[in-house]
Amino acid sequence: MNAIPALCTPSVEIPALIGSLMKITAVRAILLSFPVPKERQHRNDYGVVVKNDNVIVVVETDVGITGIGAAHGGPEAIQATIDHEIAPALIGEDPTNIERLWEKMYSGSRLEPSLHRGYCHPSARGRSGERLCAIAGVDIALWDIWGKFLQQPVYKLLGACRTSIRAYASGGWAPGDEAEREMAGYAAKGFTAVKMRAEGRDGFSIRKSIHRIAAARRGIGPDVELMVDAHGSLDVSTAIRLARRMEEYDVAWFEEPVSPDNHDGLAEVRRATSVPMATGERESTRFPFLSLLEKRAVDIVQPDIAIAGGFTEVRRIAALSSAYGVRMAPHVWSAGVLFAASIHVAMSTPNSFIFEVSQAPNPLIYEIFEEPFDIRDGYVHAPTGPGLGFTLRGDIEERFPYIPGPNYLY
Ligand SMILES: [Mg+2]
């Protein structure tokens, strides 16, 4: 009888890492909400936005350095994941062993075989969803700690390639001809690129969408770049028909024309039009990005640091996409900590070329730090302070108390 090949490596103790610079003493989540005032609520293809949430992730150490990160997703689920699964696994670890801790959070109880064999062993729940978002939030905080310890900005630790990057204004919800004035307003702020939603407040049809795109192009003139985002809301044939109509308006990218689960469909849309395809804001880990790249489905990848897996995973995605000659435009939305972290991504990944600046009225992005973001002349500039380079205001929990319930009402 043939011997059964050994699938399991004998238990091998991974030698301790040299020295311990500090130890994690606590990991916790702070939940925040901003209820959108009634007069500013409006409908988009997700429904009516009634509130925005933030999950701030705090990692404390025994040397007095505290790291901050942020997680995107269901706030209570993320908080429970951090309290009951991630914090017990990380307390006592050295926060500067970031690759090890990412692997520990991702592969869970199978950390040792993962490191011994050289490939990941994620659990069923660890690969995406709230667990992966919690991992991302902690990872951001770990890099913040490392930067504060070394007294250097995170982007310097990651390997700086620039200190500023061209920005684009991300908004564009106005209906019909009003898109002309709305998008012209963004250009008047100094942005040389602007993004609008395929579906405006007047609902979606190809006719309405093209009407608004034409109005936007009139508003911004021929020299400002125009992008269009469909939030993954169209089927393949509608996306192709719309993309072909967009071509005469010189659209710089068509974002998430179809469901993020439909990589083959996106490749089909890409082959049918000259408009470049952008996607990635809802993908977790490098593996779905590899699928998009292998299928030749994408021209511009848009990992969101909070969903893709933090700095540690986004830099892998950047390297992977650069090998395919694909550029990166980090997806940046919903939280000031994520805006700050994304700046460091953009400053340390050579294939990043443009940076998203939300035009949504959300103080959870722009009013949670003591220091303002440096956005001038259509560029976002890197902060100079250590770590993420920003300090949370002391009153955010009183100012933005958490409100349970859905963010959108359809
Ligand atoms: Mg988008």
Ligand 1: distance of its center to the CA of 254 in Å?
Answer: 10
334-350 mean pLDDT:
97
Ligand 1: distance of its center to the CA of 170 in Å?
Answer: 9
pLDDT at 161 (0 to 100): 98
Do 124 and 223 fall within a single domain? no
In a domain, 402, yes or no: no
197-213 mean pLDDT:
96
Ligand 1: distance of its center to the CA of 393 in Å?
Answer: 28
Ligand 1: distance of its center to the CA of 81 in Å?
Answer: 26
The residue among 169 and 15 whose pLDDT is bigger is: 169
Do 109 and 237 fall within a single domain? no
Do 170 and 104 fall within a single domain? no
In a domain, 12, yes or no: no
Ligand 1: distance of its center to the CA of 30 in Å?
Answer: 26
Do 162 and 224 fall within a single domain? yes
- Average pLDDT of the chain is 94
Do 139 and 221 fall within a single domain? no
**Partners of 226 in the β-ladder:** 194, 251
63-88 mean pLDDT:
96
Confidence of residue 45 (pLDDT cuts 50, 70, 90): confident
Do 327 and 287 fall within a single domain? yes
Is 331 labeled as catalytic in the residue annotation? yes
Q: How many domains does the chain have?
A: 2
In a domain, 17, yes or no: no
In a domain, 318, yes or no: yes
Looking at the predicted structure, is the pLDDT value of residue 98 above 60?
yes
Cβ contact 269:257 at 8 Å:
yes
Do 314 and 182 fall within a single domain? yes
Q: Which of 72, 231, 263, 331 is catalytic?
A: 331
Do 203 and 125 fall within a single domain? no
262-267 mean pLDDT:
98
In a domain, 8, yes or no: no
The CATH number given to whatever domain includes residue 198 is 3.20.20.120
Owning domain of residue 325: 157-394
pLDDT tens-digit series, residues 237-263 = 999 999 999 999 999 999 999 999 999
pLDDT tens-digit series, residues 121-179 = 998 788 889 999 999 999 999 999 999 999 999 999 999 999 999 999 999 999 999 99
Ligand 1: distance of its center to the CA of 62 in Å?
Answer: 39
